[in-house]
Amino acid sequence: MTGEKTSRKNVAVLISGRGSNMECLIRASRVETYPARIVGVIASTPAAAGLERAHREGVPTAINRLAEFTDRPAADAAMTRQLHAWKTDIVCLAGFMRILSADFVDHWHGRLINIHPSLLPRFKGLDTHRRALQAGDAEHGCTVHFVEPELDAGPPILQQSLPVLPHDTPQTLAARVLEIEHRIYPEALAMLARGEIALPPAPTKH
């Protein structure tokens, strides 16, 4: 094994649905010079179509259903155990539509990133494309950011915008934004995996 390969970061991806961003990360990691490898995928539901994609790519998967645990922290602690079993260095949220407990976010501080389909801080939460159209925004886009306890918050790593076109619908806009999501997510992950960016340490709790 070469030194370059052993220094690659182990990355796990958390999904709830289709998994197209997850698939892009897996494909990017197949390039030998890419600084990360995908060691596993956790889905919040067995219905996530991305599980099938992960199987096709030969990536190990696990399911973590909130309903099977006493509460959210217990479910998230089970995810952390699974992530450690995979020797995970970095966790990528890719359409993981479940709020994470503060303990989970603290535990993975600086090693937990998310992609969101808007130019954050605009349009946190759901239905971002419809909301951008309703607001009459001339530009829309997507953001990869470090995760902090508040929903869709945390310092941005990469953000890319595109013009909103006169006849755009939420669907046409979503499709164009998804194309740029697929470009910036592997790029942002590579920046973190190479140590080019870092989140300052979390304040110590007393």
Residue 91, classed as helix, strand or coil, is strand
Which member of 55, 109, 116, 145 is catalytic? Answer: 116
Gap between the Cα atoms of 29 and 23, Å rounded: 10
Q: In this chain, which of 181, 186, 189, 199 binds ligand GAR, going by CB under 6 A?
A: 181
Active site residue 116: yes
Residue 19 makes contact with ligand GAR by CB under 6 A: yes
What is the side-by-side order of every strand in the sheet holding 9-15?
61-63, 36-43, 9-15, 90-93, 112-116, 139-146, 156-163
User: Near ligand GAR by CB under 6 A, which window of 27-35, 110-118, 162-170, 191-199?
Assistant: 110-118
- 63-83 core/surface letters (b: 16 or more CB in 10 A; e: else): ebeeeeeeebeebbbbbeebb
């956790």: which residue's tokens? 42
Termini Cα distance of the chain: 44
Measured from the CB atom, is 4 or 187 closer to ligand GAR?
A: 187
Residue 186 makes contact with ligand GAR by CB under 6 A: no
Q: Which residue is nearest to ligand GAR (CB)?
A: 95
User: Near ligand GAR by CB under 6 A, which window of 3-11, 17-25, 62-70, 81-89?
Assistant: 17-25
Q: In this chain, which of 116, 129, 140, 145 binds ligand GAR, going by CB under 6 A?
A: 116
- The length of the chain, given as a count of residues: 206
**What one-letter code names the amino acid at 7?**
S
| Smallest gap from residue 48 Cβ to ligand GAR (A) | 8
Interface residues with ligand GAR (CB under 6 A)?
15, 17-21, 50, 94-95, 115-117, 152, 178, 181
* Catalytically active residues, by annotation: 116
